[in-house]
Structure 1
Amino acid sequence: MNSPESLDSQPLEALIIGAGISGICIGRQLLQAGFKRIAIIEKSNDVSGTWLENSYPGCGCDVPAMLYSYSFAMKKDWTRKYALQPELLEYFRDCAEKFGLYPYLRLGQTVTQADWSDAEKLWLVKLQSGETLKTRVLISAVGQLNRPSIPSLPGMDSFQGPSFHSARWPKDFDPAGKRIAVIGSGASAIQIIPELAKTAAHTYVIQRSPNYIAPRNDHFYSSAARFLFKTVPGLAQLYRQYLFWSHEYLIYLYRKGSNWNRGFRSELVRKMRSRLPKALWRTVIPKYPAGCKRVLLSDNYLQSLSKENVTLCPEGAQGLTAEGVQLSDQTVPVDAVVYATGFESHPFLKSLQVTGREGALLSEAWAERPKTYYGIATEAFPNLFMLYGPNTNLGHNTIIAMIESQSGLITQCLQAMQRKQAQSMEVKSDAIARYDAQLQENLSRLVWTEKCGNWYTDQTGHIVNNWSGTVTSYRRQTKQLREEDFQFS
């Protein structure tokens, strides 16, 4: 098998940025399709992306593990319904090894700039090391949630204790006996706080805004169940299909102003009240429509708020002092501060300067909002493809299903270029316009457009992260490449 090191004298067929879930998927697809002159550039020292970078206490997935895995590489012996970070990391590492991707990886390297050469019909990709690689096709697999977002609070630099983002959790940090402030109450926070409450002297939950939280109903699989999944033909696949369709219908609960959505909220409120003391109902249960922000899953977060060594601070942090966190009416002394404040979900490809045809800058082209073709391609940037790009995130099902569809379509693009002996392909403006018009119409019907401060919405008020329908509809629309939507040259 060729490795990218042996291909320095000729352009790559494809260069993939990122070796997370998307990079592993498209790498496997391209190799299987016969594209061997590829390289995968990864800034970290190993594969797996999110599950390599996040290792905080309680870190795990909020999608069932049997569904949060590749359909073509099912793991049938997951230890529990919702896998934790170590098991997920092991799975994606194993996949990269099984797919034969490690020889194509360039680990610990960062792409800083990508320029399209109109003359050569190639992408010139610059690395932080100063090296420049030439590639016919450039594929972004950097994901949406990998740039930690830390709020700018007065006095942050004056705090004397350790402070860090949840995605940068120090391996040597021991919470035992410490007073800890967790700023944030979102997806990471609700996993961290119950774990801290076990050993920390006191945990302060600094909540900016509440979230709907449903029971996760997590459990370990029995040895008998794992044995049956591995040995009974089709059983694991059948269970995966059950999980898929039980999640797929949830998108209909997000219809704005619908009885479905009102009923969804009523059920969430009922379940939250059953796990909270009445004194916390007003501050912990949201008033905005259910689903406007991602509905979180936890079996123990709400209960942890009632522990003697946990204090909810619903007014948010006003700033930091040398010794603690300043609230609206007091300063709470703490030994450490954890920023469980999520990620910068847009602008897309912020850390990378991308220059397309005739000097077009991607940052300028998307200054108002990103307009793409199914999240994988955009006008004026030939041979540039994206995975988990704009408007391809989900609020109801497994993102891996979307990534598989995108990988399949991108592979078809490379095959079409090869078949036509074309040096470049670029999506047509009218194809983008048709797709975007339908996308915006569909998005307007969903609760994500309500004002709740979700991370899907950009500064212009547009939903730029989420897909507007079912996974099934996306699969259907991207199953076969429509060559008439592209210009080949």
Structure 2
Amino acid sequence: MFHTSRWDYSVTGGSPTDPSLEKLKDKRVAIIGTGATAVQIVPHIARWAKHLYVVQRTPAAVDRRDQRETDSEWYKKEVANSPGWQRERLRIFHQHFTTAAQPSINLVNDQWTEAVSMAAVIGNPDPAAPKTMEDLPAYMKKLHAIDLPRQTAIRARAAQIVQDPAVAEKLQAWYPTWCKRPCFHDDYLSSFNRDNVTLVDTDGKGPDSLTPDSIVVADQKYHVDIIIFATGFRSPLDGTPADKANLTITGRNGVSMSQEWATHGPGTLHGVLDYNFPNLFLCGPRQASASLSYLFGVDALGKHSAYILKEAKLRAAGRPFAVATTKTAAEEWGTQVMMRAAPTAAIVGCTPSYMTLEGGIERVPPERQVIMARSGIWGLGIEDYLKHIEAWRAEGNLQGIEVST
């Protein structure tokens, strides 16, 4: 048994540079999980294993990937045609994720740009996005109306590709796009047409138990030699940077980050500096923002942190220093985040996943909901968030930041 992120080549054969999993030829393999990781590896393992059991709690919505060579002439003419084209391309990419009008051009042109309703979890710049929880029912209705054609087409794709109608039905996602990470693959669904691949659907429950040689689901035993856990990772909404790095982070007056964030939530300015933890630069997404191009978000916060550090060093004039947000600025920023939280409330009601803390988000008591709203992401999308922090940088006075020498 091993997790996909701790791949055991001594069991499967192959190496990071050799994809030949020769040792699986006489093995019965089970993959537990059908999220983004499993979608990538199921087709490859199916080609090598004697038999593959894919153990499913909730089906993934798997759209086509259409990996293809880029037309270089089109790229030079339409995309890389002026200075700053990389930033403009990403700006237009972000404009796809809104319930408002879509951009007139598409400089990415893959299936991500069809997933408009992902605005429900990364923030929506639509001026008509909800301002309060009272606005949420009408907003949810609009989100579902926008999302339904996409998910309907993806369900139809599964029915078209998978030859066994019963299996095809179990592989069709019944939830809206924003509830789970959208997946894109051209070979995942067709893998279930192979004689050596069996879908083990658990009806949303997961496996019942393990025996020395089997996985048990609904009183049926599936004999396997190897179990591969494609069960994902910690939620971006769960725990603190300390927890994710398996560290103890201690701040002012001996405060523990794990305890402080669990009790009160983060106390940052712009999501990058917490009042209680001077000199510790953070990379979001909590109290910051998120892009579906994750590295773009990290880059934006890295640039912001570099600006703060540069200005702090100038003010310190060569002396040792500490830099942190002021308590007042952190409280005000948390309020600003909370005031924009309503568009991200659409996640409530989704099927259990890392996006919903495995359903735990449904059970948060009212007194904790305020802390969650203050601890979330900027609800109007990453471009709106960047306007705020870029305007703050343009003022040039480090408003809300304290440099102590």
Between Structure 1 and Structure 2, which shows a larger proportion of strand residues? 1
Asked if residue 184 in structure 1 is aligned to residue 33 in structure 2, the reply is yes
SS of 1:434's partner is helix
SS of 1:418's partner is helix
Q: How far has the Cα of 1:198 moved from its partner?
A: 1.5
Q: Which residue of 2 aligns with 1:307?
A: 194
Q: Which residue of 2 aligns with 1:473?
A: 384
183-192 vs 270-279, greater mean Cα deviation? 270-279
Q: Which residue of 2 aligns with 1:440?
A: 338
The CA distance in 2 between the partners of 1:326 and 1:319, in whole Å, is: 5
Alignment-mate amino acid for residue 383 of structure 1: N
Q: Which residue of 2 aligns with 1:383?
A: 279
State the aligned residue count: 323
Asked if residue 374 in structure 1 is aligned to residue 264 in structure 2, the reply is no
Q: How far has the Cα of 1:283 moved from its partner?
A: 2.6
Q: Which residue of 2 aligns with 1:245?
A: 92
Determine which of 39, 57, 60 is the counterpart of 1:211.
60
The CA distance in 1 between the partners of 2:152 and 2:259, in whole Å, is: 43
Q: Which residue of 2 aligns with 1:358?
A: 253
**Contact residue 406 and residue 478 of structure 1 kept, 8 A:** no
Q: How far has the Cα of 1:366 moved from its partner?
A: 0.7
Asked if residue 273 in structure 1 is aligned to residue 172 in structure 2, the reply is no
Are residues 432 and 211 of structure 1, via their aligned partners in 2, closer, same or farther at CA, if it must alter by over 3 Å? farther
What's the RMSD between the two structures over aligned residues?
Answer: 3.0
The CA distance in 2 between the partners of 1:267 and 1:370, in whole Å, is: 36
Gaps of 5+ in 1: 1-162
TM-score normalised by the chain length of structure 1: 0.59
Offset from partner CA, 1:218-245 (integer Å, 9 cap, x none): 22447xx399769x97479747744652
The CA distance in 1 between the partners of 2:353 and 2:289, in whole Å, is: 13
Q: Which residue of 2 aligns with 1:339?
A: 229
SS of 2:68's partner is coil
Offset from partner CA, 1:348-403 (integer Å, 9 cap, x none): 22111111111111111111343433321212111111124535563x62112211
Q: Which residue of 1 aligns with 2:322?
A: 424
Q: How far has the Cα of 1:282 moved from its partner?
A: 4.4
**Contact residue 214 and residue 223 of structure 2 kept, 8 A:** yes
The CA distance in 1 between the partners of 2:268 and 2:348, in whole Å, is: 19
TM-score normalised by the chain length of structure 2: 0.70
Between Structure 1 and Structure 2, which shows a larger proportion of helix residues? 2
Q: Which residue of 2 aligns with 1:319?
A: 209
Are residues 293 and 484 of structure 1, via their aligned partners in 2, closer, same or farther at CA, if it must alter by over 3 Å? same
Determine which of 447, 455, 468 is the counterpart of 2:354.
455
SS of 1:353's partner is coil
Q: Which residue of 1 aligns with 2:43?
A: 194
293-302 vs 185-194, greater mean Cα deviation? 293-302
Alignment-mate amino acid for residue 454 of structure 1: S
Are residues 357 and 185 of structure 1, via their aligned partners in 2, closer, same or farther at CA, if it must alter by over 3 Å? same
Are residues 288 and 272 of structure 1, via their aligned partners in 2, closer, same or farther at CA, if it must alter by over 3 Å? closer
The CA distance in 2 between the partners of 1:427 and 1:260, in whole Å, is: 36
Are residues 182 and 237 of structure 1, via their aligned partners in 2, closer, same or farther at CA, if it must alter by over 3 Å? farther
Q: How far has the Cα of 1:279 moved from its partner?
A: 2.3
Q: How far has the Cα of 1:289 moved from its partner?
A: 2.9
Are residues 329 and 251 of structure 1, via their aligned partners in 2, closer, same or farther at CA, if it must alter by over 3 Å? farther
The CA distance in 1 between the partners of 2:141 and 2:383, in whole Å, is: 22
Alignment-mate amino acid for residue 268 of structure 1: Q
Alignment-mate amino acid for residue 197 of structure 1: A
Asked if residue 488 in structure 1 is aligned to residue 384 in structure 2, the reply is no
**Contact residue 214 and residue 224 of structure 2 kept, 8 A:** yes
Alignment-mate amino acid for residue 251 of structure 2: G
| Identity fraction in percent | 24
Q: How far has the Cα of 1:454 moved from its partner?
A: 3.0
Gaps of 5+ in 2: 13-20, 100-116, 121-138, 365-371
The CA distance in 2 between the partners of 1:305 and 1:212, in whole Å, is: 15
SS of 2:53's partner is strand
Q: How far has the Cα of 1:333 moved from its partner?
A: 0.7
Offset from partner CA, 1:153-208 (integer Å, 9 cap, x none): xxxxxxxxxx1101011234233342111001111010011111122122111111
Are residues 427 and 233 of structure 1, via their aligned partners in 2, closer, same or farther at CA, if it must alter by over 3 Å? closer
Q: Which residue of 2 aligns with 1:264?
A: 147
Alignment-mate amino acid for residue 379 of structure 1: Y
SS of 2:96's partner is helix
Q: Which residue of 1 aligns with 2:128?
A: none
Q: How far has the Cα of 1:404 moved from its partner?
A: 1.6
The CA distance in 2 between the partners of 1:241 and 1:484, in whole Å, is: 29
Are residues 407 and 388 of structure 1, via their aligned partners in 2, closer, same or farther at CA, if it must alter by over 3 Å? same
**Contact residue 318 and residue 326 of structure 1 kept, 8 A:** yes
**Contact residue 250 and residue 257 of structure 2 kept, 8 A:** yes
SS of 1:435's partner is helix
